[in-house]
Structure 1
Amino acid sequence: MIDQAQALFKTRKEGIAKEKRYYNKFIFNGHFSVFLVLLLGAFILGYGQWLRAIPKGINYSPITSIIFALTSMFPVRTLLKEADKLFLLPFERHMTRYMRYSLIYSYLQRIALQIVLLIVFFPLFYQIKGHTYGFYILFSILAIIAPFLGLVLKWQWFKYGLENWSVHVVLFIIFTMGYYVALDVGKFTSVAIIGVLIAFAFFIWLASRNHLFPWERMIQIEQQHHTNYYKFVNMFTDVKHLSESAVRRRYLDPLLSVPKGSKFSSERMYLFLFTRSFARGKDAFNIILRLVIIAAVLMIWLHQPIISLIIGSLFMYIILLQMAQFYTQQAYGLWPQVWPVDDSKVIKGYRQFLYRLMIVVAVIFIIIYAFIAIQYIFASLVFILVGWLTIINIVKKLKYQETLLRD
C-alpha cells in the first residue's frame, strides 16, 4: 500500500503538470514574455536607483519580516478530487504517507518565490547593515526551513478540525517574530521559531492522531487552488472548467442605466452588454484593476518621464489585449441566441466598449504622468495613440476570425 500511495500521488502530480504545460503555451506567448522582460528591467532599474539613496529613518526589518511572514505561509496542495471522499475511503489508513508527498510537493511549488525574495532583499540589508551579511545567512536559513514546518503544522491543524484563519494568525505571529529577531538583532535566538513550530505540530499531532482524515476540507482547499489557477489562465485563454460569478458594485451603477426609447435597440445592445458584464463581472474587472494599479505604482516609483511613457504604453497595450478573451466569453454566450443580430453589430459594440475603457485608462495614466513630468504632459498623448492602434488591430483580427467561422 505504501507503493500505491506514492503511485497515486505521482499520477495526480503528472496530471497537474500536463495541464499546466498545456496552458503555459497560451500564457507565455510572445507578447507576455516581452512584457515580463520589460517589467523585470524596469524593476531592476528602479530598485538600483532606490538603493543608491535609501530613505533614512525607516526600520526595514519589521516591514521585511511581515512580507516574509506572509510569503512563508505556503498553501497545502493535496491534489485530491471530489470523488476521492468516496472511492478512497478504504485507502484512508494510508493517507498519512500520501500527505507526506503532498507536503513536500506543496513546499517545492513555492520555495522558488522565497529564494527570489531573499535575493531581492539582500542588497537592501547589505547596505543598511554596513556591508555585513552574517545575519542574513541566518535569516535565509530560517526563511527556507520555516515554511515547511509551517506546512506540517497547518496539516495537523486541519486534521484536528480547527479554523483556517486561526492557523494563519498563529503562523503569521511566529514567522514575524522569528524573522524580525534574525534581521534586526541578528542573534541565534531567532532559531527558536523552529522549535516552536515543531512543538506546536507535535502537540496537535498527539491530539489529532485518532481523528479521521478531513476529506471535505482538504478537497475544498484543493478545489479553491484550482479555481484560482483557472482564473489566472483565463486572462490569456478560455478555460472550460471556470464559471464566472457576478458582483454588485453600487458605485458603478451610474454607468449601467438601462437604455430607453430609441437607444434600446440592436445597435446599442452589445455596448450595454459588454459594459455591464465588465462592471458586474468578478474576473475581468479585477484583472484590469490590478494591471492599472501595478502600472501606476511603477510609473510613480521610477519617476522618469521616458520610462514612465514606455511603461504606461506597455500596460495600455496589455490591458486592451487581455480584453480580447472577454469578447469570446460574451459574444458566444446566451444573448446572441436570445436576440440574434448581425456579427458586425456585435463587433461594433465591442469596439465602442474598448474605446471607452481605453479613454478611462488613458486619463488615469495621463494624470499620473502629470505628477511625474508636467512639462512633458503633451507626450502622454502616446497612451491614447497606443490604445487606438491596439483596438484597431484587435477589431481587425476579430473580423477575420468571424469571416473564417462563416466559411
Structure 2
Amino acid sequence: MNNLYRKRLASHLKEMFKYLRLVFNDHFVFALLIFIGGLGLAYSNGLKGLSPHLWWARPVIVVVLLLVLQLGRFATLFQDADVVFLLPREADIRQYLKGARLYSEGLAFIYELFGMFILLPFIQVTDSMPVFDLAMIAVAQLLLKDSLFSLAIVSRFQVKASWLKQTFWFKWLVPLIILLVSVYGMPLIGLLLALILAVGLRVADRRFNAVPFDWWHAIGLENNRMLGVYRFFNLFTNVPMLKGVAKRRRYLDWLLNSVKATPKNTYLYLYSRGIVRSGEFSGLYLRLTILGMILLYFVRGTWLPIALAALFLYLIGFQLIPFYWQFDDIVFTHLYPIAESQRVNGFRRLMFALTGLTAILFLIMVIIANLDWQMGLITLVIELVEVVLMVQYYLPLRLKRKK
C-alpha cells in the first residue's frame, strides 16, 4: 500500500508540474512579480503607520492564524475505481493513509510557517512579543494543524461517535480558543492545550482501527479537492478533466437578442451564445476580470496600475482565443456554406466586445483607486490601442499559425 501511494503521488506531481508550467508562463510570472512587489510595498508602508499596543492588533493576529490554519487539505489521491479494486486490501488502508498524511501534512506545515513569516512583521510592530513566545505560538499552530489531519483521517471511517463528526468544533471553535489563549499572554498554556488536542485526536484515531472504511465518502472528498485544483488551473489553460456544463442563463437573453439571426451573423450568433452558456470559458473570463479588478483596486502608483491593467487585458484575450475552435467537433459547423473569413470576423467581434468590456471595468477601477484623471486618460489610450492590436492583428496571426 505504501508503494501504491508513492506511485500515485509521483503521477500526481507529474500532472501538477505539467499544469504549473502552463500557469507560470512568462506573462503570468511578470504579472505575479508586479503584484507581489506592489503588495509588499503596500504592506511595508502600512506597517510604518502603525503604533505599538493597538487594541485591534491581537484580534487580527488570531483571525489570520485561524484562516491560515485552514490551508492545506488531506490529499488521499483516491480514485473512483478504488471502491472495487482496493476493497480486498481495506485492512491495510492505514498504511496508505500514513503515506498520504506524511505528504499532506508536510506541505501544510510549509503553509503554516510561511503564514507566520508573513505575519511576523505585523506582530513585531504592533505587539513586540518575545521571540520565545512567538516560537511557542508557531509550534501550537503546527500542533493544531496536526490535529486537523487526525480528524480528517477519522472522518473517512464509519465512526459512530457523533462528537468526532462535529468538524466545526475542531476546525474553528477549539483552535480559536487555543489561539486566543496563546496570543493574549499565555503562549505556554496555549501550547499545552494544542499538544493535548493533538495527542488526544491521534489516540482517538488509533481506537478505530477495526472500523470499516467509508470508501464513497473518502473518494468524494478527494474528488472535491481535485476539482478545486483543476478549477484553479482552468483560470489559465484548458483542463480536460473539467467537464463543462451548458446553462440556459435566461437573465442574459436581453444581451443575446442584440445579435440578430441572419446569415452574416451565423458564427457571431453561435459564439455569443456559446460563451454565455459555457461554464468553462464564461467562468474563466469572469474570474480573471474580477481578479484583475481586485488587484487594480489595491495597487497604487503612477505606472504600475497601467501596466497591470494592460497585462491582465492581454491575459484575458489570450485565454479566450481557444474558444474559436470550441465547435470544431460538431459536424454541422463544417456543413455551413459560409466562408472562413466570415467566421473569423464573427469571432473578432465577440473578442472586441469582451475585451472592450473588460477594458472599461479596469479603467473604472484605476480611476476609483487613484483618483487621477490623467492616469485614467493614459490607461484609456493604452487599453484602446491594446484591444485594437489584439483583435485586428494578433488574433488573425494566432489563427493562421494554428492552421
TM-score category, normalised to shorter length: 0.7 to 0.9
Cα deviation per residue 1:313-334 (whole Å; 9 max; x = unaligned)? 2222222222233334345556
Partner of 1:112: 110
Unaligned ranges ≥5, structure 2: none
| 1:136-175 aligned within 5 A | 136-160=134-158, 166-168=166-168, 170-175=170-175
Partner of 2:195: 194
Q: TM-score, normalised by structure 1?
A: 0.85
Displacement after TM superposition at 1:169 (Å): 5.1
Residue 303 of structure 2 aligns to a residue whose secondary structure is helix
- In structure 1, distance between residues paired with 2:388 and 2:183: 49
- In structure 2, distance between residues paired with 1:292 and 1:142: 39
User: Is the CA contact (8 Å cut-off) linking 1:6 and 1:101 kept in structure 2?
Assistant: yes
Displacement after TM superposition at 1:147 (Å): 1.4
User: Is the CA contact (8 Å cut-off) linking 1:78 and 1:222 kept in structure 2?
Assistant: yes
- In structure 2, distance between residues paired with 1:236 and 1:98: 33
| 1:3-402 aligned within 5 A | 5-54=1-50, 59-73=56-70, 74-130=72-128, 132-160=130-158, 166-168=166-168, 170-191=170-191, 192-203=193-204, 206=207, 208-247=208-247, 249=249, 251-257=251-257, 259=259, 263-332=260-329, 336-337=333-334, 339=336, 341-371=338-368, 372-376=370-374, 377-381=376-380, 382-402=382-402
Residue 97 of structure 2 aligns to a residue whose secondary structure is helix
Cα deviation per residue 1:300-346 (whole Å; 9 max; x = unaligned)? 32333422222222222222222233334345556625757433333
Cα deviation per residue 1:26-68 (whole Å; 9 max; x = unaligned)? 2222222222222222222222222222499662433443343
Moved more, 192-201 or 5-14: 192-201
Cα 1:7/1:13, change in 2 over 3 Å: same
1:98 partner letter: Y
Cα deviation per residue 1:184-232 (whole Å; 9 max; x = unaligned)? 43522222133224324534653x4432111111122222233333333
- In structure 1, distance between residues paired with 2:269 and 2:186: 59
Cα 1:391/1:62, change in 2 over 3 Å: farther
Cα 1:160/1:90, change in 2 over 3 Å: closer
1:44 partner letter: G
User: Is the CA contact (8 Å cut-off) linking 1:313 and 1:383 kept in structure 2?
Assistant: yes
User: Is the CA contact (8 Å cut-off) linking 1:174 and 1:193 kept in structure 2?
Assistant: no
2:295 partner letter: L
User: Is the CA contact (8 Å cut-off) linking 2:230 and 2:242 kept in structure 1?
Assistant: yes
1:136 partner letter: L
Instruction: Count how many residue pairs are aligned between Structure 1 and Structure 2.
Output: 395
Displacement after TM superposition at 1:106 (Å): 1.5
Displacement after TM superposition at 1:250 (Å): 5.1
Cα deviation per residue 1:144-164 (whole Å; 9 max; x = unaligned)? 332122111121023135899
Displacement after TM superposition at 1:171 (Å): 0.8
Cα 1:331/1:391, change in 2 over 3 Å: farther
User: Is the CA contact (8 Å cut-off) linking 1:70 and 1:172 kept in structure 2?
Assistant: no
- In structure 1, distance between residues paired with 2:311 and 2:356: 15
Unaligned ranges ≥5, structure 1: none
- In structure 1, distance between residues paired with 2:337 and 2:198: 61
Cα deviation per residue 1:92-118 (whole Å; 9 max; x = unaligned)? 111111111111111233333333222
Moved more, 173-182 or 197-206: 197-206
Identity %, equivalent residues: 20
Cα deviation per residue 1:210-269 (whole Å; 9 max; x = unaligned)? 32111111122222233333333333333332211234545434223385xxx2134323
Moved more, 208-217 or 56-65: 56-65
Q: TM-score, normalised by structure 2?
A: 0.86
Moved more, 340-349 or 73-82: 340-349
Cα deviation per residue 1:360-386 (whole Å; 9 max; x = unaligned)? 212212222222233313122123323
Residue 241 of structure 1 aligns to a residue whose secondary structure is coil
- In structure 2, distance between residues paired with 1:333 and 1:113: 45
Cα 1:251/1:93, change in 2 over 3 Å: same
User: Is the CA contact (8 Å cut-off) linking 2:51 and 2:126 kept in structure 1?
Assistant: no
1:326 partner letter: F
Moved more, 52-61 or 295-304: 52-61
User: Is the CA contact (8 Å cut-off) linking 1:136 and 1:182 kept in structure 2?
Assistant: no
1:92 partner letter: E
